Each structure stands twice: as structure tokens, then as C-alpha cells.
Structure 1
Amino acid sequence: MGNAGYSAISNDSRVRILHLLQERPARTVSELSEATELHANTIREHLQRLIDGGYIVAATEHRTTRGRPRVLYTATGHDAASSPVAQRKAREAAIRGDLFRRLWPAATALPEEAVHQLDALVDDLEGAGFSPVVDEQALTVDLSPCPQAAAGARDVRCTVHLGLMDGVLTSACGPLRAQNIRPSERPTDCVVQLAVVP
């Protein structure tokens, strides 16, 4: 998988847009344009990149009055919003993971759905340039090095990144959710804590 979609967090404007959509879903182009002070056409370009990557979904507003319905944008994972692109990526990652496990079997205490979620998450993170190391017992994912560590506004980036990871897990349909991100011993590394949600 390429990292074209995940370049979402390599661009400050897309980080701001994702952050806004994670804070409050169902926003319009004009709302995002006003909040970011970017031209509406620029917003549309960023939104299309995020849709293509499977990180947001667009839905047409249901109207009971006259007028053209608005297009509303929501980050995946929010209120079970899921993207067909993200679902396809999750299915493909699960197939690759199953093939790998047939060749190199390993014991796991996690249910199959959770294992497939980890397949999708690792696939997504590797496509973004991370080298994730999963600890299934502790339910953690070490991310090192973080290609975003040197970028500005790390708190916002980490919040957005946590939301993206949770969206991947949600799209893969299973019990795992991304709970939090905390710094590791080195400033370029961080640890993602996962949790099982019934």
C-alpha cells in the first residue's frame, strides 16, 4: 500500500481540517473554509485527498425544505462513520495477514476480529512511514521513529493521528480502539495504547 492517503498528516492544512472534523463531524466546505481561513477550492482539494485515503466520508444532507442539499464531511470512526476505501483497505490487510500467519503461525490470545484490526492498523502505519511494533499482551503499538515528531503543533498532530488510527480500527470492525498516545523514552518515538471495547 502506498502512502498517498496517509500524507493527510504531512500537510498542516489537512491536519487542521481533520482536527476540526474529529472535534465536530458533519461540517460543510464553507464551515471548514471559515475555520481555517482557506479558500473553499483549497478545502475541496484537501477533502478529496482525505476521502481518497479513507480518512473522511462525505454525505449529502437530508433536507425537508427547498434548496440544494449541502455535502457534510465527517472523520471516519466518528459515530461509526466508515469509508468504503477504509473498509477495502482493512479487508485486504486481513487477507495478507491471514496468508502470512499460514506461513508463519504464531499463538495469539486475541479474537480473529482483533487480529484483523491489528493487520489493518499495521498496514496503514507502515504505509505512512512508521515501523510499528505491536505487543498483543499489553495492547500497545510502539511507533518509531515518528515521521511527524519534528513537525510543529505535535499535540494537535498526535490527537489527529490517534483519531486516524481509531478510524482504521473502527473500519476493520472489531473490539479494539485506540485509547491514547504517550511519548516514549526518545522524543521521536511514541506508544499507542489500545483497549478492548465491548
Structure 2
Amino acid sequence: MLKLGPRPSRADARAHLSTPRRAVLELLVEEQEPLTVAQVAQTLDQHPNTVREHLEALARSGLAKRDQLAPVGRGRPASVYTYAPEASFTSPEYAVLAQVIIGYLTHVVPDGPELRRHAREMGRHWGRAILERAGGEPAPTTRTAGAAVAYLRRMLDRTGFAPEMQREGADQTLRLPRCPVLELAKDRPEVVCSAHLGMAREILASTGGIEPDRVSLEAFTQPGACLLHVRSVAHPGEDLVVGPVENAPAPARPDEVVPARPVANPGTASRGA
């Protein structure tokens, strides 16, 4: 099935895996579908027993999730494995904390436009934190749009978005094929994607000369990536466009309070579609 939007970023936790085990996890992340031992073994050209050992180790560490297929005929039903959302975080506790913060924000600020404004402001604070940690990556001395976008690209790469530059005349677009908080973005795109937009605007503002209304974001509108646009002039359209996201709740009406979603236990969290 065609899936819109980016894929998860590669987490720091994967750096400690052996090369064969990391390859198994990467396959789960890339496919984003439940896979059997036989499917993984065939794709990676490894022995099923070896693959089963890797998959079970990933499940024990919380980087993968094991489920059982519905029984068909006699015999034990086959196990299937998917990557766990926590595989996109350095620690599962960061995933839980992020879910709690976003759930609380959507509970206390139910109004759509006001919620997005708060999320953008949250993103601006995030952007400033990224700049403070940049350390050895000073802002460009040349105050041009090209230098500013190149600097933003480096900051986004450090953050896990794996950005790719695209140009359309005087306008520039950063294609974002990875997302460090993909499951949260699917669950609450109006909050997470607005925060991403605010973060990008803050980083660009630090370089001088790029006004916020020149920066917009298309999220989950095409297969494989989101698109961050930096235009030569202000764009009159929506600053944030979110495509159809699987698992996302319907937008709230101004008079409707949306309760926070329950936070999944990090050991049993569902991967989502």
C-alpha cells in the first residue's frame, strides 16, 4: 500500500547493534509492514535460524515488536515482527515523555488555530535549543537565502531529517525523507508538524533575512517525504498543509475539547500503520 510522508530516523540505539542485526532492524523500518522470519531471511539472504535470533533480540531490547498471525490449520501460528516506535528514539522514555507533552498540549488547547500557534511557538524554542547545541557549526556569515537554507539543511541533518535540497527557480525546497518523531507526527500532525515548521523558521531567522511567511511545510502529501519550502517572496496560501495521515484523529471543532490520547507502555506500544 502507498504510504505518504517520510520514514523514521535512525536512532542512536542502533549504533550499538552488530551489522547483521542492524540490517534486520533497517529492513523492518523500511518495509513498515509485519514480516515473518522467512520473509526477512529471504530478503537478506540469511539463514532463518540466524534471523530468528536477531529478531528475538530486537524484540527483547524494545526495538521490535512480535505478534502472532491468526492460526491457519494445524500447527503453531507464525510470528511476525515490526519495528517499535521507540526505535526512533535514543531511549523509550523520551518517546513516552514526548507523547505526554503532546497529549497534554492538545488537551488544554483544543482550538485548531490556537493549538497550531502554540505548537509553532514550541518549535521556535526547539529551534533555539538546536542552535545552542550546534557549537562547532556557526551560522553563515553571508546573509543570502542560499546560505541560510544550506545552514538549515545541516541543522536538520543533525536532527535526523536527512534533508535533500531541491530548487525551483528562486524558490528552494528541502525534501525531508526521514522524521525523528514519525509516530507522533502521524498521531498528532497538527501539533508535531507545526512544531517542525516553527523550528525551521527559527533556525532560518537566526541567519537573517528570511521572514516566517516565506517558509511553509507540506506534510504527508507525497510518498517518501515531507516538503519544507523556502520561497523568495511571501506565499499567500496555507503555511502548513497536512495530507491524509493514517491513525490521525479528525480535526477538532472550535467548541470541541479533544481528550489526550492514552500513552502506550513503551514495552508494548503499537507501531501504527
Q: Normalised by the size of structure 1, how large is the TM-score?
A: 0.47
Structure number with higher relative contact order (C-alpha < 8 Å, ≥ 6 residues apart): 2
Larger Rg: 2
Q: TM-score, normalised by structure 2?
A: 0.36
